[in-house]
Amino acid sequence: MTNADELLASLLASRNADGGWPFQRGASWTEPTALALLALQSANHSSDARPLAASWLANQQSSDGGWPPCASVPTSTWVSSLTLMALAQERAYSSGCPKGAQWISSHVYPDLPALEVFVQRSLGVSPSQAPGSSPWFPGTAGWVSPTAFSILALSCWSSRFPDADLSKAIQRAQTYLLSRRCSDGGWNHGGSLQRSEESPSYPETTGLALLALANTASPALDHALHLAETYLRNPVSPEGSAWLLMGLAAHGRNAQESAKGAAARRPTAKELPDISGGALDTAPVLREFPQSQPPLRPKTNRDIALQLIAFHALRGRNPFLQPAL
Amino acid sequence: MPTSTNRRYFFLGSLGIGSLATAFSCSHRTSLPLDAQRVSIVRVPSYSHELFDVIRRILIDHRVAVAGKRILLKPNLVEFSAQAPINTSPVLVSAALEAFHSLGAAHVTIAEGPGHRRMTLDMAEAAGFFSAIPRFEDRFVDLNTADVRRVALAGPVSTLKELYLPHTVFDCDLLVSLPKMKTHHWAGATLAMKNLFGVVPGSVYGWPKNILHWAGIDESIVDLHSLFPRQFAIVDGIEAMEGNGPILGQPKHMGILVAGAHTPSVDATCCQIMRIDPAKIRYLTLAAEKLDWDWQTVRQSGETIASVSSAFALHPDLQHLRLK
């Protein structure tokens, strides 16, 4: 049994009776269900889990064209992007996708009027609803991850159904992403400056942003790709590794070799973070914590789905880069 | 077992000061019984096994009803950094867990929803929670991804009218805020009340929970506080953070716990310890208006503020917050 087989079995075992997936336990949510469906698609899985998941997602679509995060929340959010990508591969359940694409496109913030740009520049402030960015929740500021998902979803849709407005929205979003790099070359949640101090990037957002910039040529990406390789050699989470592998592979980097190196490597005692803050005097067990846990164990259904997607992405089947059917 | 040094500090303060405070008459307005807003300050030099005993005594001293109750411990887990004390120490959380169990709690759950990054369990593992707390994953609820319900805000201070919040935070008898004592680059300080930002689910509102920023950070702090009438706070001020907190600041050793049932009073006490003026912390002034409460009426037991206070470095833009 391969690692991918184990991941698939684990994913299938954790689905709810209604055909959806919880994050860990409880009710079905849109995000883990969409990721699970993308994982099943990347694995070419063909049991009834696939149509049931697609049906569950299709039934969640709101009248505005977007998808809410779960049945108990009525507002459509960024999860619309993930859902569009998942349903765009399921012909029998994709009838809501055109409206979904419109919803996503309408949540890529437009360019500001010239006067507003002038005033904001004069005041030294950057706009919260920055042009090209997408919010997690409607009406709030734009951030790196939801913007990256907007790019991936709109690219998936427009590659099958070309549309000038969608292409412009994708371009604006990619420009936003490039403008939000941290000084180390990667990306964090989107706040690269905190009271004038530089914030470091995160592995997971760096990998995701690189994936969303897959078809972008920019000298700025060299630094980001190098950083992503460095992150991958020192993995901190299954999610981070999955996005880094996909982001590097999308730019033609040999992510598989990096992954092998990462899998074979465990941190030594000297490399472990000092969690004591200098005052821990009687907890020697804490100093050994990473040895007591296997590294990069997937802990949520989201982790499992992302690992499975990354596994198949390295073998040429990245569902985030597939055109709609 | 630990030496009696810290117990002595604790008892010197707690002996009767609570009742003295109740009898104390002053001109400042407050509708709360003074003992209800009493705050304990306890010296604890390090993250040691002594913490269990200290926390247990705090709970007894404050007559916290624990037996048969469902307790929710809400630590502060934001990000992991080897260099900075960003999160509540797992040793302290473990000690609190054991203390509540020892006093007969029916169930103790640990729950948090980090605000910037999605890998909650991986951060908890890296921060030492898996090793410090047996069966951590069974005891822990990720508030970012737990099932939610709609909650209407009655008389909100912010522009929020409703929030979708995890069932977990309402299915308990007592919410115990376990924040880290830190400066905050927007709010001035992040303590027991701001710690409640972690109950707002990222799976609905995102990372960060930007809806709270748009509705007003300080106003949202007060609104979230008002949703939880049964709280207790134990602030981890053993290794604190100063400067550009809550993430990019510098460690500051304080060696104290600050605790009480009235979290605005706990936060006002912490601010004074940090040499930050509570009257200039907007969320505290909003809380004072909404709750008919005055931080100047708060009484401390155990250590005095003067005996433990030390000026926290403040961001250059926040120098006006300094307590004169």
> What is the amino acid identity at position B285?
T
Cα–Cα distances in Å, from B125 out to A280, B142, B168? 17, 13, 21
Do the domain assignments include residue A46?
A: no
Output the pTM of the full model.
0.89
Residues B272 and A108: their CA atoms lie apart, in Å, by 44
Give the residue extent of every domain in chain B. 37-321
| Cβ within 8 Å, pair B206-A240 | no
> How many distinct structural domains can be found in chain A?
1
Q: Which residues make Cβ contacts (< 8 Å) with residue A75, sequence separation at least 6?
A: A68, A137, A138
Do the domain assignments include residue A221?
A: yes
- Which of A27-31, B12-16, B211-215 is predicted least confidently? B12-16
Cα–Cα distances in Å, from B259 out to A253, A291, B18, B58? 53, 34, 13, 7
Chain A residues within an 8 Å CB radius of B132? 283, 285-286, 289
Do the domain assignments include residue A286?
A: no
- Which of A63-67, B16-20, B61-65, B308-312 is predicted least confidently? B16-20
From the CA of B227, how many Å to the nearest CA of chain A? 19
pLDDT of residue A182: 92
Q: Judge whether A92 is closer than 8 Å to chain B, CB to CB.
A: no
Shortest CB distance from A137 goes to which of B82, B90, B205?
A: B205
Helix, strand, or coil (residue B71): strand
Do the domain assignments include residue A229?
A: yes
| Cβ within 8 Å, pair B244-A73 | no
The predicted-structure confidence for B131-172, as pLDDT tens digits, reads as follows 999 999 999 999 999 999 999 999 999 999 999 999 999 999
Interface of A with B in 230-259 (CB under 8 A): 236-240
Question: Quick one: tokens of A51?
Answer: 């149509």
Interface of B with A in 279-318 (CB under 8 A): 315, 317
Cα–Cα distances in Å, from A164 out to A64, A97, A155, B323? 22, 17, 12, 58
| Cβ within 8 Å, pair A288-B131 | yes
pLDDT of residue A119: 80
Q: Are A210 and A177 in contact (CB under 8 A)?
A: no
Q: Judge whether B192 is closer than 8 Å to chain A, CB to CB.
A: no
DSSP B83-147: SS--S--HHHHHHHHHHHHHTT-SEEEEEE--SS-S-HHHHHHHTTHHHHSTTHHHHEEETTTS-
Task: Assess whether pLDDT exceeds 70 at residue B4.
Answer: no
Which residues span the domain enclosing A239?
A: 201-265
Task: Assess whether pLDDT exceeds 90 at residue B41.
Answer: yes
* Nearest by Cα to A21 from A46, A45, A57: A57
Task: Assess whether pLDDT exceeds 70 at residue B94.
Answer: yes
Residues A89 and A83: their CA atoms lie apart, in Å, by 10
Percent of chain B clearing pLDDT 70 (strictly above)? 89
Question: Quick one: tokens of A143?
Answer: 């951030």
Query: What is the residue-level pLDDT of chain A in tens, covering all 325 positions?
Result: 568 999 999 999 999 999 999 999 999 999 999 999 999 999 999 999 999 999 999 999 999 999 999 999 999 999 999 999 999 999 999 999 999 999 999 999 998 888 877 787 777 666 678 999 999 999 999 999 999 999 999 999 999 999 999 999 999 999 999 999 999 999 999 876 666 567 889 999 999 999 999 989 888 899 999 999 999 998 889 999 999 999 999 999 976 665 555 544 433 333 333 322 322 222 222 222 233 334 478 999 999 999 999 999 999 999 999 999 8
The predicted-structure confidence for B268-285, as pLDDT tens digits, reads as follows 999 999 999 999 999 999
The predicted-structure confidence for A222-245, as pLDDT tens digits, reads as follows 999 999 999 999 888 999 999 999
Q: Judge whether A294 is closer than 8 Å to chain B, CB to CB.
A: no
pLDDT of residue B33: 72
Mutate which: B118, B136, B150, vs A, most A CBs within 10 A: B118
Interface of A with B in 119-138 (CB under 8 A): 128, 135-137
Residue B301 binned pLDDT confidence (cut-offs 50, 70, 90): very high
Do the domain assignments include residue A239?
A: yes
Q: Judge whether A286 is closer than 8 Å to chain B, CB to CB.
A: yes
Here the ipTM equals 0.89
CATH superfamily of B37-321: LarA, N-terminal domain (3.40.50.11440)
Q: Which residues make Cβ contacts (< 8 Å) with residue B156, sequence separation at least 6?
A: B219, B223
Interface of A with B in 201-220 (CB under 8 A): 202, 204
pLDDT of residue B131: 93
| Cβ within 8 Å, pair A24-B145 | yes
